[in-house]
Amino acid sequence: MSAIEQRIEELKEEVKTLMFSTNDLAENLTLVDDLHRLGIYYHFEDEIREAIRCINDHVEDGINDIRLVALRFRLLRQEGYAVSPGMFNKFKDSEGKFKQELSYDVEGLIQMYEASMLGTNDEPILEEAMDFSRGHMERMLEVGEEPHSAQIRRALETPFHRGMRRLEARLYIPVYAKSKSCNTTLLELAKLDFNHLQSIHRDEIQSFSVWWKELGLMNNLPFFRDRLAECYFWSLGVWLEPRYSTERLFIAKLVNIITVLDDMYDAYGTIEELQLFTNVIERWDFQDVDGLPEYMRIFLNVFAIFMAEIEEELRKKGTLRHKHYIIETFKPLVRAYFQEAVWTNTGYKPIFEEYINVSLMSCAYPMFISVSLCLAAEDLSIDTLDCLLSMPKILKASGILCRIMDDLVSYEFERQRKHVDTCLEICMRDEGITEQEALAKLNKMVENAWKDINKECLNPFPSRKHLNMLALNYTRMMEVIYKHEDSYTNPEGQMKENIALLLVRPIEE
């Protein structure tokens, strides 16, 4: 054990002692929130679980501080407790509107807005809380004299619930260091842990790079997007913990391979070649490649090597039965890719529902989430595995959100080449509405998908918890990569800065 690792262990013990030193609700709420925001929550999973149980048992009727009520609600929902949002009614006036006095409570407004992000489709009071808090927070930014401006701006840009956990920690640690409530033990642990994890992640991306270069795909298939760092960044959003190193590398490899596959269907292969290739995947026989062009044979060879690595990993874990489900998740993906290629080739104009049903598969999120679950979880029941193939609601919601957000930022680019229409164009055409009206409708669908995901994360069955967390983390990555631009295809802007923050620049001691 290195000196840094030893110091981290010492600090962890100090924090564990701190967590059981008080019964004060406000202190416990703040501590649990800080552990999450500082990115060190994974060291204290048992302690957080116990703290949340105690927080849930604490009757909130006597709490009249909007900050604490909203924080308690968010933390409980975050841990899967289906607590009622009715607790916010106490902050309404006789006309059923939120009291104006709340508009001056900056920290309360921020927590209120953050809490509203965990709402479901049948909770209008959280919609009201969102509109109320957001309106007043935006007004404060316009005035420009608010000392909490940075916190307000960050919450409005990326609410914590929707943020990539590793990136949120990187941005929060310097803010926490300057706060009046900063705990020096937590701060030291957060800095050491971030830098320690960064060194681990650097080693992993180096290993990933060597693996990719040895395959030689870049030299033989010049048409695809080479996004090595971006693929690893994506996997880092799914798992940041050291114990998931193997799974993280597999997902980085998978994202890279699927990028090649996507480009092959989207921009390179002829319809005849793609039909033959799709048939090979459907049969899952990589030796039967008669008629395939050389570039497809090269890709299949790499894909077969990757699948052999997955099979070996499953064998080591004693979960070889998961292989069948991994294979079956690839088949709907290539079917969807091929369907879109046919639409493009023939000039067919799908209706909106038809497009969504195909494109929520072609976005690859249902496949990514399912493969991730099969790689990481060792106690999956047959019912849970079978569920993956029946498109459970959380996979559908994540896929729809992924497709719409991707389409909205790549709309202008796709118009410049031969490509199936985006959901924006189809929505405008089908409903005879303007671009602005279509944008509003699609953004509403994104919000509804988030609410569906929130609802599924309140599922009481333990067997779904791992699936829900994976779907949630993958969906969070859409907020990071596709909120304002397609920074995966065009990584020179914010993507480059985010990668530097997480993989290049350590936090100064």
Q: What is the DSSP string of 7-30?
A: HHHHHHHHHHHHHTS---HHHHHH
d(CA 256, CA 247): 14
Which ranges of 40-117 does DSSP label H, i.e. alpha helix?
45-57, 66-78, 106-116
Q: Quick check: 383 pLDDT over 90?
A: no
Per-residue DSSP letter, 507: P
Q: How confident is the model at residue 43 (pLDDT cuts 50, 70, 90)?
A: very high
**Which of these, 324, 338, 327, lies nearest to 271 by C-alpha position?**
338
Q: Say if residue 81's pLDDT is above 80.
A: yes
pLDDT at 415: 56
pLDDT at 271 over 90: yes
pLDDT at 389 > cutoff 80:
yes
> In which band, very low, low, confident or very high, does the pLDDT at 142 lie, cut at 50, 70 and 90?
confident
User: CATH 1.10.600.10 region(s) of the chain?
Assistant: 216-504
> Taking the alpha carbons of 454, 458, 459, 465 in that order, is the dihedral positive or negative?
positive
State pTM to two decimals: 0.95
213-251 in b/e form (b: 16+ CB < 10 A) is eebebeeebeebbebbbbbbbbbbbbbbeeebeebbbbb
Classify domain 216-504 at the CATH class level: mainly alpha
* Cβ atoms of 366 and 400 closer than 8 Å: no
CA distance 116 to 168: 18
In whole angstroms, what is the distance from residue 131 CA to residue 343 CA?
40
- What is the CA angle 227-232-233, rounded to 5? 95
What percentage of the chain carries pLDDT values higher than 70?
97
pLDDT digits (tens, 9 = 90+) for 460-502: 777 788 999 999 999 999 999 998 887 777 777 789 999 999 9
CA pair distance 318, 309, nearest whole angstrom: 14
Q: Are 411 and 426 in contact (CB under 8 A)?
A: no
Question: Which residues neighbour 384 within 8 Å (Cβ) at sequence distance 6 or greater?
Answer: 463, 464, 467
Specify the pLDDT at position 115: 98
Task: Please name the helix (run of DSSP H) or strand (run of DSSP E) that holds residue 4, with its range, or none.
Answer: helix 3-19
Q: Is 332 exposed, middle or buried (0-12, 13-18, 19+ CB in 10 A)?
A: middle
- Residue 141's region, left for phi above 0, alpha for psi from -120 to 50, else beta, is alpha
Give the pLDDT of residue 381: 86
Taking only the tens place, the pLDDT of each residue in 322-355 is 999 999 999 999 999 999 999 999 999 999 999 9
Question: How far apart are the C-alpha atoms of 217 and 226, rounded to whole Å?
Answer: 10
Predicted confidence band at 49 (pLDDT cuts at 50, 70, 90)? Answer: very high
Under 8 Å between Cβ of 70 and 108: yes
Q: Are 406 and 363 in contact (CB under 8 A)?
A: yes
Q: How high is the pLDDT of residue 355? A: 96
Q: How far is CA 13 from CA 9, 17, 21, in A?
A: 6, 6, 13
Q: Is 420 helix (H, G, I), strand (E, B) or coil?
A: coil
Mean pLDDT of the chain: 92
For the chain, give every residue range classified as CATH 1.50.10.130.
Answer: 3-189
- pLDDT (tens digit, 9 = 90+) per residue, 2-12? 999 999 999 99
d(CA 359, CA 109): 37
Give the least confident one: 178-182, 254-258, 271-275, 418-422. Answer: 418-422
383/171: higher pLDDT: 171
306-315, pLDDT tens digit by residue? Answer: 999 999 999 9
Token match 């709340």: residue? 102
* Residue 268: per-residue pLDDT: 87
Domain 3-189 falls in which CATH fold? Answer: Glycosyltransferase (1.50.10)
pLDDT in the model for residue 20:
73
| pLDDT above 90 (res 267) | no
